[in-house]
Amino acid sequence: MEQSNPPALVRLSEGVRPPAGWSECCTCGHRWRTGQHGGHSCAEKLREELDITDKLLAERERVLRAIPECPEHGAGCVPHALEWIERAKAALAA
């Protein structure tokens, strides 16, 4: 039996289920016929996503270190950082 290509659809992560008879990897969107082995590896995609996440977190920490520490919670307090930025923007606009 010849396996046809899966129908083009929005990925499960976007809230749409694949059509009947198809399964989908929630990590990468790879589709296969339900009941058959869906063998594939998301490892490379997950490594890329982890690398991006690590870079974003490093940039977040860099921004938080540039702002004076929260007197109550110390360094890394996001609500304090947002308030501090808003006060700084208001001061610049005045």
Split into its structural domains, the chain has a count of: 2
d(CA 51, CA 71): 32
Alpha carbon 33 to its chain's center: 27
What digits encode the pLDDT tens for the residues 15-63?
677 778 888 887 787 888 888 777 777 787 788 889 999 999 999 999 9
- How much is the average pLDDT of 55-76? 93
- Per-residue burial over 44-67, b = 16 or more CB atoms within 10 Å of its CB, e = otherwise: eeeeeeeeeeeeeeeeeeeebeeb
Residues 29 and 54 in one domain: no
Residues 36 and 47 in one domain: no
Residues 14 and 54 in one domain: no
Residues 61 and 30 in one domain: no
Residues 47 and 88 in one domain: yes
Residues 47 and 31 in one domain: no
**Residue range of the domain that includes 28:** 1-40
Residues 54 and 83 in one domain: yes
Burial of 93: CB neighbours in 10 Å, binned 0-12, 13-18, 19+: exposed
